[in-house]
């Protein structure tokens, strides 16, 4: 494993030995590098996009929030003053970031008193999250009605190789045999949320190839040696992926999501998950199932943990009625975590509500039946 400078940290390249340390060396190293990188971003850039990114992440870390609260408050006041004066200098109008300006305007119009920390409610196995900043994010292609699972990469569309996003790179280098860029997730919904983009400049669309799938398995196994809580989420095209540029969402969790609960049939239990879920303990069987989903033009979400993958085939975005009080159904929701930006709804939503809305994304027929009929084998478990 080798890499380049980590933002805000003094890691360096050692010829012939890879990195002496990477942010993946241990949880403590990763956490320190992550928070140091956020603090360095805020200090180095008077830009609205950076403010939004850092403000979103401090909602998950009370200590970081205390450390950066004064700087964030001053930056908020400066941007508010710039907006009131109508001046087109400063940090409001950089990088053609119209999305950032709209997020900030929405924040100003919010009925809430300033930036609110993220809050979590446990509803049985489910996780409900109040997340103010996530609810304000631009939907980009996740708001489109689609009927495909693959679209060619468009270099003119929003993608991770845009020059103005370079400052949001947390780390880049070779890991698990491929070059990758790891970005801070601008609108996080898990602690230390990052986006891993393999071979960023190659312009791969959000469509898994066999090599990408197998890379994900190698990556999980390699990083789990020092980060046992590591995991990856993946949204296929049509399953609420917001950017058509190959990427995986990387996260670290001490408490597993509901999809990992032993009560479900796909984990050997006796209860059905609200939507058909397939678990695979081998990369070969996982790929055979995904390859069949591609043949059927079926969108899906993945949760990959070291040594296993959960795959959920589902209706395409725009083809089902979604509750206004939820922020859509991507890999996190399909795995049992749900987000709302309304504090009133945060206190009202029940586990029954969550299960009913999750089940609405079910396909008319279980693809595992077609999967078996086509001789592709059986998943380890499905509900």
Query: In the structure, what pLDDT confidence band is assigned to residue 129 with cuts at 50, 70 and 90?
Result: very high
d(CA 325, CA 173): 39
Query: In the structure, what pLDDT confidence band is assigned to residue 71 with cuts at 50, 70 and 90?
Result: very high
Q: How far is CA 30 from CA 63, 118, 291, in A?
A: 16, 21, 34
- DSSP string for 24-51: TS-HHHHHHHHHHHHHHHHHH---HHHH
Query: In the structure, what pLDDT confidence band is assigned to residue 218 with cuts at 50, 70 and 90?
Result: very high
CA angle 354, 372, 211 (to 5 degrees): 80
Greater model confidence, 344 or 268? 268
Structure token pair of residue 161: 């190789």
Question: Could you read off the pLDDT of 174-206 as tens digits, one per residue?
Answer: 999 999 999 999 999 999 999 999 999 999 999
pTM score: 0.90
| pLDDT for position 16 | 29
Average pLDDT in the 119-133 region?
A: 94
Q: Which CATH number does the domain 118-382 belong to among 3.30.70, 3.30.428, 3.10.450, 3.40.1350?
A: 3.30.428
pLDDT at 310 over 60: yes
What does the DSSP 8-state code read for residue 230? E
| pLDDT for position 18 | 36
pLDDT at 66 over 60: yes
Sheet containing 308-313, strands listed edge to edge, beginning at the edge strand earlier in sequence: 2-3, 169-175, 178-184, 194-198, 248-252, 230-235, 300-305, 308-313, 278-280, 381-382
Q: Under a CB-based contact definition with an 8 Å cutoff, are residues 163 and 263 in contact?
A: no
Of 43-47, 95-99, 113-117, the poorest mean pLDDT is in 95-99
Average pLDDT in the 247-260 region?
A: 96
pLDDT at 317 over 50: yes
Greater model confidence, 99 or 51? 51
Average pLDDT in the 372-381 region?
A: 52
Q: Under a CB-based contact definition with an 8 Å cutoff, are residues 262 and 268 in contact?
A: yes
pLDDT at 141 over 70: no
| pLDDT for position 20 | 42
pLDDT at 329 over 60: yes
Q: Under a CB-based contact definition with an 8 Å cutoff, are residues 183 and 170 in contact?
A: yes
Query: In the structure, what pLDDT confidence band is assigned to residue 98 with cuts at 50, 70 and 90?
Result: confident
| pLDDT for position 144 | 73
Question: Could you read off the pLDDT of 23-36 as tens digits, one per residue?
Answer: 999 999 999 999 99
Q: List the chain domain ranges.
A: 118-382
d(CA 93, CA 292): 46
pLDDT at 99 over 50: yes
pLDDT at 76 over 50: yes
Average pLDDT in the 345-369 region?
A: 87
pLDDT at 247 over 70: yes
């Amino acid at each position: 494993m080798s890499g380049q400078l980590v933002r805000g940290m003094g890691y360096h390249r050692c010829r012939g030995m890879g990195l002496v340390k990477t942010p993946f060396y241990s949880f403590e190293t990763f956490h320190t590098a992550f928070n140091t990188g956020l603090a360095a971003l805020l200090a180095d850039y008077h830009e609205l996009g950076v403010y939004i990114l850092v403000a979103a992440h401090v909602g998950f870390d009370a200590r970081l929030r205390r450390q950066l609260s004064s700087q964030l408050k001053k930056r908020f006041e400066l941007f508010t003053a710039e907006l009131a004066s109508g001046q087109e200098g400063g940090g409001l109008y950089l990088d053609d970031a119209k999305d950032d300006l709209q997020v900030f305007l929405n924040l100003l119009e919010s009925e809430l008193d300033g930036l609110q920390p993220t809050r979590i409610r446990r509803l049985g196995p489910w996780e409900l999250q109040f997340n103010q900043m996530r609810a304000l994010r631009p939907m980009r292609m996740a708001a489109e009605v689609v009927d495909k699972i693959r679209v060619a990469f468009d270099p003119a569309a929003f993608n991770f190789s845009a020059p103005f996003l370079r400052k949001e790179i947390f780390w880049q280098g070779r890991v698990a045999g491929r070059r990758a860029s790891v970005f801070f997730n601008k609108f996080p919904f898990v602690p230390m949320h990052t986006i891993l983009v393999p071979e960023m400049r190659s312009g791969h669309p959000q469509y898994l190839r066999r090599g990408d799938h197998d890379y994900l398995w190698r990556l999980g196994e390699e990083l789990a040696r020092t980060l046992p809580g590591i995991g990856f989420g993946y949204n296929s095209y049509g399953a609420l992926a917001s950017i058509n540029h190959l990427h995986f969402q990387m996260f670290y969790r001490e408490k597993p999501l509901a999809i990992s609960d032993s009560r479900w049939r796909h984990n050997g239990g006796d209860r059905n998950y609200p939507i058909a879920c397939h678990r695979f303990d081998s990369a070969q069987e996982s790929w055979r199932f995904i390859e069949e989903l591609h043949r059927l033009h079926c969108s899906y979400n993945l949760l990959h943990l070291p040594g296993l993958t959960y795959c959920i085939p589902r209706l395409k975005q725009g083809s089902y009625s979604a509750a206004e009080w939820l922020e859509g159904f991507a890999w996190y929701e399909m795995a049992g975590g749900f987000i709302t930006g309304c504090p009133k709804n945060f206190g009202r939503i029940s586990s029954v509500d969550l299960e009913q809305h999750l089940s609405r994304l079910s396909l008319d027929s279980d693809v595992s039946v077609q999967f078996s009929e086509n001789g592709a084998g059986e998943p380890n478990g499905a509900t």
